[in-house]
Amino acid sequence: MSDTEQATKNGEQPQPPALGPHKLLTVDGLRVVVAGSKTDVVDDVSFTVTAGEVLGLVGESGSGKTTVALALMGYARRGLAIDGGSVKLEGDEVIGRSRGELRSVRGASIAYVAQDPTSALNPALKVGTQLREIFAAHPRCGQDKSDVNERIGELLAEVRLDGVGSALESYPHQLSGGQQQRVMLAMAFACQPKLILLDEPTTGLDVTTQRHVLDAIRGLCRIYHVGAVYVSHDLAVVADMANTVGVMYAGRLVELGPAARVFRAPGHPYTRGLLRAIPDPTRAHVLEGMEGQPPRPGSRPRGCFFAARCEFSRERCTVGFPPRYEIEGADRWARCLRADEVSRLPPLGELPLRHHAPPSESGQPLLKIESLDATYGDKEVLHQVSLTVAPRRCIAVVGESGAGKTTLARCIVGLHTSWAGKIEFDGIALARDRRHRDRNVMSSLQYVFQSPYTSLNPRKTVGRLIEQPLQQLFKVPAAERRDRVVAALRDAALSEDYLTRYPDQLSGGERQRVAIARALVVEPKVLVCDEVTSALDVSVQAAIVELLHRLKLERRLTLVLITHNLALVRSLADDVVILRVGSVVEHGHEVLDHPSSEYALQLLADVPSLSLV
């Protein structure tokens, strides 16, 4: 007798049979190569995603995360080709379909949200026009014009843009970064896809905007019961979003399992290394970046690709690429010969803490700002900002996008001239325009820009880039210039070999080190760092943070750190200034431990943390 018949006979309400999770996406042995060769960029990648599940893909830049995400749509970037494997969406193969068939799938069944909405949205078309294009490309998503308009209204409400009355009539550049990203989400969910691919959708956003975007993603996934693949190098965000996490290294999936278990007790040394590089918003600890670089396609070793950087490697690790080893059951595995041993190591909470000295009550502040007002045209960006910066301390300026953080930094170094009030350096009132300042003052106040990709001239070698400030500010003989350039490189943890290289031959972290070396070469007293780690991998970010901390001690530098990463502030800053809409909300060395304003409390609450996993 069946369970249903037995229940009916006993007078009980029969229950439907238990159903397992609906397998939405199945990826098996995916391989992507350099076009026209057998050099693999991604190989042997296999995983599944069920309906309603979020799979996080994490790893350093170049690990193959985005390449895998694009291949799930049957797409490979220029110079690459999908060479093997299978990608099935609800049992239907994606790989090998014609262009026409793929066009009908992309946007309707599989949607993609790019990392940078400013480059993904057409700057010449209004937001409303771009949303309507989705329904024009996929007519089955909307029956007629009235249905389309109604659907667009629903989408704006779902991504919390319905309060922006002019959103549809705006061009992308008229919206903030967070609003642009919500437009991208609305476009992705317009046709109610089965699978959504999210490629670093919150990189560069402040914590509050990031929280809103993440909430929108989470809500949309729940409303439409779609599967999602979330690509990111921010492990704290992935821990907050994902049910399952896959760790990629050098084109291979090296660990896969439930997010909470992977992050609490990683089975692969690479995962462990990534976790030890992440700042914690709840405490200040020393960040540990991993030495070395991942092997590039075509030069990967025979054995474990991570062996050269691994503290647990043994001779047998170099013999062959390790198979999958199950950890605590079949739903979790790692490609490491010592996976079970590594997963049993003590918690990551034993990292050494960093103790910040309390401020000295005596002594002249090195930098003093009084009643600073700054404008862009008719718009006031800073209002009555006053603060002091003591010598040899690091002050972090934090707040949402548009709070005026970068404007404040640019006023300090003389790059923004529309301001009133007073800025004093070492007791000397500064002119508004950098060109009207003394050369010694200009050399003492140096600026490191957010993006080394745009701040370094691609036509000049590293040596020429670093010596340029010496030529502009001081008449230093050629022989001495070279010695000072080499010394600055070494202080930035780069060797003399980099002198003849060009920026395009460097990684993102190496470029940022060159930008720091260029600032150091004139021996400044104050280093203003504007979001210098926002686009870097966690391991590279950790290395840059520890570099700045070392320079502060060895060179007796004063640091002004512009950032939206409050977790990072814990590990580096001695003092904190919180800006909101151009005004100082709080200022002091105990702001993060004892915030007194609702705004500061909300900012801290919005910071994702692995300690909550």
> Does residue 16 surpass a pLDDT of 60?
no
- 382 phi and psi, to 5 degrees? -120, 140
559: amino acid identity, one letter: L
Distance between CA atoms of residues 306 and 321, nearest Å? 10
Number of other CB atoms surrounding residue 78 within 10 Å: 5
Q: What is the pLDDT of residues 297-319, one digit of tens each?
A: 999 999 999 999 999 999 999 99
| Reported confidence tier of residue 571, pLDDT bands at 50, 70, 90 | confident
Q: What is the DSSP letter of 349?
A: G
Residue 562 in tokens: 């512009």
> Does residue 380 surpass a pLDDT of 90?
yes
Question: Residue 373: helix, strand or coil by DSSP?
Answer: strand
> Does residue 544 surpass a pLDDT of 70?
yes
Are the CB atoms for 460 and 494 separated by under 8 Å? no
Sheet containing 558-562, strands listed edge to edge, beginning at the edge strand earlier in sequence = 445-448, 526-530, 558-562, 394-398, 575-580, 583-588
Distance between CA atoms of residues 369 and 139, nearest Å? 58
Residue 346 is predicted with a pLDDT of 80
Nearest to residue 135, comparing CAs of 189, 191, 186?
Answer: 191
Q: 85: alpha, beta or left, given left = phi > 0 and alpha = psi -120 to 50?
A: left
- 353 phi and psi, to 5 degrees? -85, 150
66: amino acid identity, one letter: T
Q: What is the pLDDT of residues 247-258, one digit of tens each?
A: 999 999 999 999
Question: Residue 540: helix, strand or coil by DSSP?
Answer: helix
Distance between CA atoms of residues 121 and 460, nearest Å? 32
- Mean residue pLDDT of the chain comes to 87
Q: Which residues pair with 583 in a beta bridge?
A: 580
Q: What is the pLDDT of residues 136-173, one digit of tens each?
A: 888 777 555 568 888 888 888 888 787 666 788 889 88
> Does residue 14 surpass a pLDDT of 60?
no
List Cβ neighbours of 549 (8 Å cut-off, separation of 6 or more).
354, 394, 572
Query: In 354-431, where does DSSP find H-type helix?
Result: 405-413
Q: What is the pLDDT of residues 25-41, one digit of tens each?
A: 999 999 999 999 999 99
Average pLDDT over residues 271-295: 85
> 353 or 492: which carries more pLDDT confidence?
492
Nearest to residue 339, comparing CAs of 271, 293, 246?
Answer: 271
Consecutive H or E run containing 216: helix 207-224
> 558 or 535: which carries more pLDDT confidence?
558
> Does residue 224 surpass a pLDDT of 80?
yes
- 63 phi and psi, to 5 degrees? -80, -15
Domains in the chain: ranges and CATH:
367-612 (3.40.50.300)
Q: What percent of the chain has pLDDT over 70?
A: 92
Q: What is the pLDDT of residues 51-94, one digit of tens each?
A: 989 999 999 888 999 999 999 999 998 999 999 999 999 999 99
Query: Where are any strands of DSSP class E within 406-525?
Result: 419-425, 428-429, 445-448
Q: What is the pLDDT of residues 163-207, one digit of tens each?
A: 666 788 889 888 877 788 889 888 988 888 999 999 988 877 788
